[in-house]
Structure 1
Amino acid sequence: MVDAPRSGRAGSHPIGRLDHSAYLAMPRLPGLDGLRALAALAVVFFHFGGPTWDRLQGWIGVQLFFTLSGFLITTLLLREERDLGRIRLRAFYLRRVFRILPVYFLLLGLTVVFVSIGGNLTDSRLADALPLYLVFGNELVDYNTPFGVSWSLGVEEKFYLAWPALLLLTAAVARRFTLRLGLVLAGIAVLLVGARWSSLTLHYASILAGCLLALVLHQPRGFAVLRPLTRPAVAVLVALGFVALQLTIVPLRDALGGGWRAIVPVYAVAVALLLVAVVAPGPVRRALESRPMVFLGRRSYSLYLSQSMAASAVSTVIPGPSTVQAVAVSLFALGMACALYRWVERPAIRHGRRLAEPRGTATVPA
């Protein structure tokens, strides 16, 4: 999970097409918190809502998180390179460590404790998976456990480890944009081919789709190609088209041959186009920037990781899966997320930023 850059007045740009200079000057990328909120809720309702929510296919919402992560991380790094003349790996890794690890290990520890109290540590196979969970090999656990929802963190952590270093290595090259673009395109091609043998590679292709979008938007010519999507009317059409795609994942998957490996790349491209529409001024962004959406989005990381624990508590009084259970799980998980956000996430993030930024150093929003 990645926090969008903060701002003072990101929404002050007048309604109309967004221009490149205004995009680069945005101290934050608005609307993305709301997008996170919807993705997290889609996952919860798909897991616990029963047949009523099958069409939502919330499982693929995790790919939205992946593409969003690739886009945000790359955008932040490119802007830091532009403003400071370099990419500071130490600062980046410190911010990531204090953003991700405290909540992750706290919830993993609580899960182990509660499962052990129930006498199910071995039967649930949590004990078998624990060595991988401790080193973020979550996606390699190919069986169900009470902490199975964390598999996406294993994918993202490896991206956080490798991609900034790769950008730094290419920084000294004269035509670095061309090289970086070529690396991303080659990486996507290799990962899509590799998906025939390992489904894990497909997740990284979704992340690289976000990286590709960030690289393209950072350049004037690339931005000009996608600029029509920033028109308010076009952005609304893009958003409606994405909703239609989300609700027709299964028939589209069947039309493409019945394999989800075919639909994930299509979905990643749709997310990339949606991100352009979401960042642009207009009704789509205003809806996703509403207070409830921002509130949920900023707590979406803890909410996402808390859902299994919340479901264990809720299922003792509300049978499921059902819509009622999904609502109850969402509210319970949100309560946990609010506590974690206040007492764990925010203090840890602030501490990470203090460590990453030497005193007296100007900071790049992160």
Structure 2
Amino acid sequence: MRTLTHGEYLAMKRFPALDGMRAIAAVMVVFFHYAGPQWARLNGWIGVHLFFVLSGYLITTLALREESRNGRISIRDFYVRRAFRILPVYYVVLGIVVAFAWLRHEYTSSGLASVMPFYLTFTNEFAPPGQVFGQSWTLGVEQKFYLVWPALMFTIGAFTLKRRLPMTLGLMALAAVGHFMEIPYVSPAAYFMIISGCLLAFLLHSPRSFGVLRPFTHPLVSVPALAAAVVVQTNIGEIDALVGGTGGLLPVALYGLSVGLLIVSTLRGGPIQWLLSLRPMAFVGDRSYSLYLIQGVAGTVVALSIPALAVHRTAAGIAVTLVSLLMADLLFRWVEQPMIDQGRKLIRKLNERKAARAAADVPERQPELATTSA
């Protein structure tokens, strides 16, 4: 076993351990909502922060690599990819939620009607908490990140790491300040976590900063890295109390740091990468977005089918997870994958048209007249 070189890192096309991390994050959130107080120690709510770190890291890494290949990134292609990846299944699940409420004559009484403007416009995080489909607040945060981040860092801020790094740190500091200001219905801590993932992507992409992190890419580091993440996650409250109570930002930031270390330590291989890359982990990870969205519908189906599982407890958590996964698999096969493919086809078509226009704009070169010497 040895550490990873920067060249090997840049040549990696997939990060297989991240599938398992997404799977764990999604299941933790479901257990937080349905498995009852006996699972309180798991602190499953922090699963969304794991999603945020992974999202910031992956989006920024892909953009940096496109920039390295082409000299710039295509903002248009980025938005097309994100739109076809995020919007179709989101609106399908939202439609299912509305249909359930309507058929049960609860569309208005459930509060769904009053928050629908937020859900339709991806301003979900501004909706009052505790609503039906309330977990979708994270989608509002991520959509704003997708809208702003590529333009900020790869067009307006198309700079070297020396400039991007302080900009990124400045945005994290701004998010931290916003957290302590306690702005209603705004989630600065969520943006802090996303940007921390972006920061990790910048550090790993740069040869110099990668050299600093390279010792942590040794496969055996992943074992204590996973242990550290588990300790932080299961002791968030105690850590917050230990530092005098910060409203959760410091322990969540510490958790983000431990997740970043886990990402780095599972790049090369080793026992934890193997564990997180197992086929069941990859299966759930691929469907984690749909699973996260559909959990409320699955919870309703389970409670109506088996009234005893309407009470939040371990059996309910397991049942809702399994039903959510079944529904997520259908969404993945029938909505997510087909629409992602449509997005790719649209990008190819747009690029072909662009290339054809560029070729048409090049004046046809006239053949030179042959000359003869006297």
TM-score w.r.t. the length of structure 2 is 0.89
Match of 2:211 in 1: 224
Q: CA deviation at 1:297?
A: 0.2
Match of 1:183 in 2: 167
Structure 2 unaligned residues grouped into runs of 5+: 353-374
| 2:261 is the counterpart of 1:273 | yes
Question: Contact 1:125/1:144 (CA < 8 Å) preserved in 2?
Answer: no
Q: For 1:359 and 1:122, how far apart are their aligned partners in 2?
A: 43
Match of 1:6 in 2: none
State the SS of the aligned residue for 2:106. Answer: coil
User: Percent same amino acid among aligned pairs?
Assistant: 48
Match of 1:295 among 259, 262, 283: 283
Q: CA deviation at 1:358?
A: 4.0
Match of 2:103 in 1: 117
| 2:330 is the counterpart of 1:344 | no
Q: For 1:107 and 1:256, how far apart are their aligned partners in 2?
A: 40
How does 1:4-15 map onto structure 2 within 5 Å?
Answer: 15=1
How does 1:1-366 map onto structure 2 within 5 Å?
Answer: 15-170=1-156, 172-173=158-159, 176-197=160-181, 198=183, 200-258=187-245, 259-316=247-304, 317=306, 318-358=309-349
State the SS of the aligned residue for 1:121. Answer: coil
Q: CA deviation at 1:92?
A: 0.6
Q: For 2:45 and 2:129, how far apart are their aligned partners in 1?
A: 16
- Residue type matched to 1:59 in 2? W
Question: Contact 1:239/1:277 (CA < 8 Å) preserved in 2?
Answer: no
Compare CA radii of gyration and give the structure with the larger one: 2
Q: CA deviation at 1:257?
A: 2.7
Q: For 1:124 and 1:267, how far apart are their aligned partners in 2?
A: 35
Structure 1: 4+ residue segments shifted above 3 A? 170-173, 358-361
- Residue type matched to 1:289 in 2? S
Does the C-alpha gap of structure 1 residues 172 and 115 become closer, same or farther in structure 2, counting only changes over 3 Å? Answer: closer
Q: For 1:169 and 1:91, how far apart are their aligned partners in 2?
A: 14
State the SS of the aligned residue for 1:279. Answer: coil
Greater Cα shift, 273-282 or 337-346: 273-282
Q: For 1:39 and 1:217, how far apart are their aligned partners in 2?
A: 23
Q: CA deviation at 1:171?
A: 5.9
Question: Contact 1:194/1:201 (CA < 8 Å) preserved in 2?
Answer: yes
Q: CA deviation at 1:168?
A: 2.2
Q: CA deviation at 1:202?
A: 1.5
Q: CA offsets per residue over residues 194-252 of structure 1, 9 Å max, x none?
A: 11122511210111100000000001111111111111221211111111211112211
Q: For 1:212 and 1:360, how far apart are their aligned partners in 2?
A: 30
- Residue type matched to 1:22 in 2? E
Question: Contact 1:16/1:282 (CA < 8 Å) preserved in 2?
Answer: no
Does the C-alpha gap of structure 1 residues 172 and 320 become closer, same or farther in structure 2, counting only changes over 3 Å? Answer: closer
Aligned residues: 345
Q: CA offsets per residue over residues 117-140 of structure 1, 9 Å max, x none?
A: 111112211111100110100111
Greater Cα shift, 246-255 or 133-142: 246-255
Question: Contact 1:170/1:179 (CA < 8 Å) preserved in 2?
Answer: no
Question: Contact 2:157/2:164 (CA < 8 Å) preserved in 1?
Answer: no
Question: Contact 1:170/1:180 (CA < 8 Å) preserved in 2?
Answer: no
Structure 1 unaligned residues grouped into runs of 5+: 1-14, 362-366
Q: CA deviation at 1:319?
A: 3.1
- Residue type matched to 2:347 in 1? A
Greater Cα shift, 17-26 or 260-269: 260-269
Q: For 1:121 and 1:257, how far apart are their aligned partners in 2?
A: 43
Q: For 2:156 and 2:161, how far apart are their aligned partners in 1?
A: 9
